[in-house]
Amino acid sequence: MATPKKIAFFPGSFDPFTKGHEDIVQRALLLFDEVIIGIGHNANKARYFPIEKMTQWIEQTFEGKPVKVVAYNGLTANIAREMNANFLLRGLRNTTDFEYENSISQVNRYLVQGLETIFLITSPHLAPISSTIIRDLHRYGTNVEEFLPYSLD
């Protein structure tokens, strides 16, 4: 019997998708056959960068690679299952990320049996990059393109 394709679902807000996220995806492509980037959105919470634009920018970033981008709302574990992903992918920057990820990964494995979360430790030079900081810089007119793997158009 053929081994099942290893598909990782990488969930996040990606508001915006940064070079830190790109690094996680590039490294994951060495481990998985396909990576699906899931932009989670909540109809009651306004985004800073529009979801349609962010989807296009991420698609451009990984053109020609086995990477898909989907927007979703609802439970991450359910959408991962719907997309036939057998792994969740997350990045770990620090102990704060760890505390949160520790419990959420247990819950996800409880919700969907066998759904394992794989964590990649951030590359040190990218660890300080956070979407929140980039949004704040951009809001006050700072050019943030050095932190992003695409140009804002």
Binding mask 93-122 for ligand ADP (x = CB under 6 A): x---x------------------------x
Q: Which is nearer to ligand ADP, 20 or 149 (CB)?
A: 20
Helix, strand, coil % over all residues of the chain, rounded to 5 = 40, 20, 40
Which of 13, 21, 90, 138 is labelled catalytic? 21
Which of 6, 19, 41, 93 is labelled catalytic? 93
**Is 93 designated active site?**
yes
Residue 38 as a binder of ligand ADP (CB under 6 A): the answer is no
Can you give the three-state secondary structure of 90-132, one letter per residue?
EEECCHHHHHHHHHHHHHHHHHCCCCEEEEEECCHHHCCCCHH
Residue 21 as a binder of ligand ADP (CB under 6 A): the answer is yes
**Is 6 designated active site?**
no
Piece of the chain touching ligand ADP by CB under 6 A; list 1-9, 30-38, 49-57, 129-137: 129-137
Q: Which is nearer to ligand ADP, 2 or 91 (CB)?
A: 91
The CA dihedral of 97, 102, 103, 106, to the nearest 10 degrees, is 140
Tell me the two tokens of residue 29: 């492509």
User: Residue 27: which of 79, 89, 93 has the closest Cα?
Assistant: 89
Q: Are strands 34-40 and 87-92 parallel, antiparallel or unpaired?
A: unpaired
| Min dist. Cβ of residue 88 to ligand ADP (A) | 9
Task: Give, in order, the Cα–Cα distances in Å from 47 to each of 8, 39, 42, 131.
Answer: 25, 11, 9, 12
| Min dist. Cβ of residue 122 to ligand ADP (A) | 4
Residue 76 as a binder of ligand ADP (CB under 6 A): the answer is no
Q: Which residues lie near ligand ADP (CB under 6 A)?
A: 12-14, 18, 20-21, 24, 90-91, 93, 97, 122, 126-127, 129-131
